[in-house]
Every structure is written in structure tokens, then in C-alpha cells.
Structure 1
Amino acid sequence: MSNDRIIETLEEAGKPKISPALKLVLELGPLVVFFFANSRGEWLAGHFPALAELGGPIFIATGLFMAATAAALAVSWVLTRTLPMMPLVSGIVVFVFGALTLYLQNDTFIKMKPTIVNTLFGVILLGGLAFGKPLLGYVFNAAFKLTEEGWRKLTLRWGLFFLVLAVLNEVVWRQFSTDFWVAFKVWGTMPITILFTLAQMPLIMKYSVEQPEEGKAP
């Protein structure tokens, strides 16, 4: 099983796929916009007076982040006629907390967005396990096949990982500067997530169920 196959498990199973390059752009694009707008906020405000009405760099970045997120979701819908669960939930939280950030001129809300999203996913996955439901198996069963034990272990790992990301975000935004938090959000969280995903390869390979067409017993 290739690395690309593991990364593709983040997509909803059975849905039309887009090219890996475009998928990466849709996932990373809004974050890159957020980072650029925060680092060049004063320049953007000087060249685009309308943006200056939003406030300082972090507020300009928040407004553009919301716009970029909406654009990414729109492109995904046009190309696949579906919105994957994780980007959709994350997008909704971006819009709600972004709007609060701009309206109240308080960047605490946008900084808490990753905490809320990751905690939500972590609680859902671990809560499902508590009721005997490895939810990743229901979502990604068409992408690849694992034994029941494999789905339980993978769901547990991802549930705990989401909670770790939530705690990590809280530590970073509370203990470091806004610029550091923005940089970490873009250049820290994503690489950590990719490395964690690839680190699940041994588990997925160990518990994979061979397909019937291969002529082998499951």
C-alpha cells in the first residue's frame, strides 16, 4: 500500500476524486493565505483600503482566511458534488469564529478555532469507541478494508491525536505571540499531521483485509 493511498484515507470514501495537487492546494491554500495576510497585513491595508476597515493584520488575515476557505469549499463542491465532512465542519467553525473575531475585534476566537475543531473530532471518535463503534470504519470502509480490531486501533489513535492537537494549539496561542501561532498553524500543524498519517502505515498494512478478487481468504 503506497503513501498516497494512506493520505487518501482523509477523503470521503466512494466520492469522485480530484487530482492530488489540486487537493493539496485546496487544503493548504487557505492556511497559506492566512499566513501571508498576517505577515503582510500592513502592506495589504495600504494597497487595499477596504481591508484596512477590518482592523490590524490578524483581522485582515482572518477575513481573507474566511474568503479562501469559502472558495476552497466551493471548488471542492463544483468538482466532486460533495463536501468532505472534516473540511466542511472546519469551514463552519472558521466562519462562526472568524465572524466573532471581526465583529468583536478579538483574535481569541480565531485562535480557539483549531482547539474547537480538533476537540470535536477527537470526542466524536473516542465517544464512538466507547459505544463500540469505530467510526473511521464507517467513513473510510470503501477506501480500504481493515479488520474490526484494526479499525478500533486506528480510530483510537486518531481520536487521541486530535485531542493532542487541541491541547497543542491551546499551549501555543496562549504562550507565544500571534505571529508565532500563525506560523505554527501553517508550518507546524500540517507537517505533524502528515507525519502522523504516514506513521499509521504499519497498522493499516498489518490489519488490512485482502480483497476477494485477489483470490485469497479475507
Structure 2
Amino acid sequence: MAETREINPILKQVLELGPTLAFFVLYVRIKDQMFTFGGTEYTGFIVAAVVFVPILLIAMGILWALTGQLSRMQVFTAFMVIFFGGLTAWFNDERFFKMKTTIVYGFLALILTIGLLRGRSWLEYVMSDMMPMRHDGWIILTKRLTMAFVTLAVVNEIVWRTMSTDAWVKIETFGFPIALMVFLFWQFARLQPYLIEEDEGAE
């Protein structure tokens, strides 16, 4: 098993969030342009989506080299980006890349639901070391986060089917992550009574 190494948290955030921001910046710069490759014309959005794939893989490679590990979620996200980025380029259809977000959130909701049906919280399994909390607290958080993922999946479907590409890119880049972050902070604040204090955990 590879040794896990700690790195500067700011650098970690840059490597994790940087590719998405790079996609946004590139899209803004080339969104109104058309590009021809192999006799086929591609929109700026599709070119930005395809370029996003190697940017993400390079960032993940650096992260793995520095820390010695990648989470299952990061690996899954990379697979989805590669798969749907490939479909987007192959069929020259931006809808595939937009569907990716729906499928990712839907998959997360499904995984958490499977755990709940077995009386378990996968969140507790991966996050208990970072935030000690009683099992019933983890179950509550898992149920709420499952509903949040379902909501985000539905909202993404509504956004990409009814709104402009510009609107989708902005919501995908900033709206969804901010909404999820605010939701998590709100939940952690509400679940304070379930947290395990150090002296309590030592008993």
C-alpha cells in the first residue's frame, strides 16, 4: 500500500478545483469560436470540454504523486469526465458532457441509498476520522445529503435542457459547488449535538 503524504492544503485545493476553473476560463475565451479538426467543425464548448480531460488527468497525476493516494470519488469523476468527454467529441454533441453532472450526482445518491438500506452510512466510513460523530448523526447526514444529490441531479437536468450553455457552465462551475458547500456547512452546524467530544471518545 502506498504511503499517504500530507501536502499544503492550498496546493491540494488548487489541484482539485483548478481543472474546473481552467475549463470555465477556456470556455469563456473560446465560446464564440468554431474549430475545424479532420474536416469537422466543433464549437468552443466542445473544444473546452475535450481540453478539460487532460488538464484534469494531469492535476490528478500531480496530486497522486504528491500524496500517494486518490479517493474513489476522484477516480470515478475522472472516469466519467473521460467517458463523457469522449462521447462529446465523438458525436460532436455537447449534451453528453452536460449529462455527466446528472449521472455523477445520481450515482452518489444511489451509493448512499444502498448503504442506508443496509443500515450503514458510507459517509461515516470515509469521514469519521476527520469528524467524530455518533452513528445516528451520520445516518441523518447521509439521508439529507442523498436528497441533496438527487436535487442537484434534477436541477442539472432542468438547467441544461431549458437554459443556455452559458448559464449551464456558470451554474456547473460555481452554482452547484457553492450550493453543496453551503448545504454541508448548514448540516454540520445542525448536527453539533451528535459530535463526539475528545473526552467522550476516550471513555
TM-score, reference length from structure 2? 0.88
Residue 104 of structure 1 and its aligned partner are, at CA, apart by 0.8
Q: What CA RMSD, in Å, does the superposition of the two structures yield over aligned residues?
A: 2.4
AA aligned opposite 1:122: A
Any residues of structure 2 matched to 1:64-213 within 5 Å, and which?
64-211=51-198
With over 3 angstroms needed to count, the CA separation of the structure-2 counterparts of 1:185 and 1:64, relative to structure 1, is same
Q: 1:60 is matched by which residue type in structure 2?
A: V
Distance in 2 (CA, whole Å) between partners of 1:215 and 1:38 is 51
Instruction: Return the alpha-carbon distance in structure 2 between the equivalents of residues 132 and 159 of structure 1.
Output: 14
What is the alpha-carbon distance in structure 1 between the residues aligned to residue 156 and residue 172 of structure 2?
8
In structure 2, the partner of 1:26 is 15
* Residue of structure 2 in register with 1:58 after alignment: 45
- Name the SS of the counterpart of 1:164 in structure 2: helix
Q: Provide closer, same or farther for how the CA distance between residues 78 and 57 of structure 1 changes in structure 2, counting only shifts above 3 A.
A: same
The change in CA–CA distance for 1:54 and 1:147 in structure 2 (over 3 A counts) is farther
Structure 1 pair 17–78 and aligned structure 2 pair: CA distance change class (3 A): same
- What is the distance in 1 between the residues matched to 2:113 and 2:187? 17
**Counterpart residue type for residue 184 of structure 1:** I
Structure with higher RCO (Cα < 8 A, 6+ apart): 1
Cα drift, residue 69 of structure 1: 1.0
Secondary structure of the residue that 1:74 maps to in structure 2?
A: helix
Question: C-alpha distance in 1, partners of 2:200/2:178?
Answer: 38
Shift of 1:205: 2.2
Tell me the distance in 2 between the aligned counterparts of 1:140 and 1:44: 44
Post-superposition CA distance 1:16-73 (Å, at most 9, x none): 4332212221222111121122221168878xx87x9772111111112111211121
CA contact (8 A) 1:101 1:108 kept: yes
Displacement after TM superposition at 1:109 (Å): 0.7
Q: Which runs of 5+ in 1 are unaligned?
A: 1-13
Give the deviation of 1:151 after TM superposition.
1.0
- 1:84-138 CA-to-partner distances (Å, cap 9, x unmatched) read 1222211110000000000110111100001011100111102210111111111
| Alpha-carbon separation, structure 1, partners of 2:31 and 2:124 | 47
**Separation (CA, whole Å) in 1 of partners of 2:48 and 2:166:** 11
Partners of 1:113 and 1:189 in 2: how far apart?
13
Give me the identity figure in percent. Answer: 33
Distance 1:38 1:144 in 2: 37
Question: Using the alignment, how far apart are the partners of 1:180 and 1:34 within structure 2?
Answer: 14
Q: Does 1:35 align with 2:24?
A: yes
Whether the aligned pair in 2 keeps the contact of 1:54 and 1:63 (CA below 8 Å) is no
Cα contact 2:32–2:43 (8 A) shared by 1: no
Letter matched to residue 27 of structure 1: E
Does structure 1 retain, via aligned residues, the 8 Å contact 2:33–2:43? no
In 1, are the aligned partners of 2:98 and 2:160 still within 8 Å (CA)?
yes
